Structure 1
Amino acid sequence: MPRDFHKEQPNNPLHGVTLEMVVRRLEQHYGWKELARLVRLNCFANNPSVKSSLQFLRRTPWAREKVEALYMETKFEESD
């Protein structure tokens, strides 16, 4: 692991945000049904759960990119 691995990453909007945090926040904001409509993934449409979604997204980089892009585009309110 590089020595400066833990340094701040000001140009990375997802620095310090885990994939689990992304999935939970999107699910709370949109709900599974709307999330499945916005990002067409079976892990959101068929018997969705945070655990199964994380398993799929961790091994499928293109799907993870879509979910992270939605997260960055979403305007969350303070109460979300």
Structure 2
Amino acid sequence: MLNALVATYGWPGLADRIPVRCFASDPSISSSLKFLRKTPWAREKVEGLYLFMLRDQRRQSR
């Protein structure tokens, strides 16, 4: 999920959409996953953005 978001939006785009330090300051997949495992509110925001991305991709492919 996180890999797909990074591929679509990039780290700066993720940091703009979800303002957490793990996306803005020296971002990596492993540090972001550690943070998201421990922080339910941030995980919910990432999951919501992922669902939005999937719906948007489906809408564009029609």
TM-aligned CA deviation for residue 72 of structure 1: 0.3
CA distance in 2, matches of 1:47, 1:65: 22
TM-aligned CA deviation for residue 47 of structure 1: 0.2
TM-aligned CA deviation for residue 50 of structure 1: 0.3
Q: Which runs of 4+ in 1 moved over 4 A?
A: none
Q: Which structure shows the bigger proportion of residues in helix conformation?
A: 2
TM-aligned CA deviation for residue 76 of structure 1: 3.3
Q: Which has the greater radius of gyration?
A: 1
TM-score of the superposed pair, with normalisation by structure 1:
0.67
TM-aligned CA deviation for residue 52 of structure 1: 0.2
Structure 1 residue ranges without an equivalent (≥5): 1-21
Q: How does 1:8-19 map to 2 (within 5 A)?
A: none
Structure 2 residue ranges without an equivalent (≥5): none
Counterpart amino acid of residue 47 in structure 2? E
Matched, 1:38 2:22: no
Q: How does 1:1-80 map to 2 (within 5 A)?
A: 22-74=1-53, 75-76=56-57
- Cα RMSD over matched residues? 1.1
3-state DSSP class of the match of 2:57? coil
TM-aligned CA deviation for residue 67 of structure 1: 0.4
- Whether the 8 Å CA contact 1:39–1:67 is kept in 2: the answer is yes
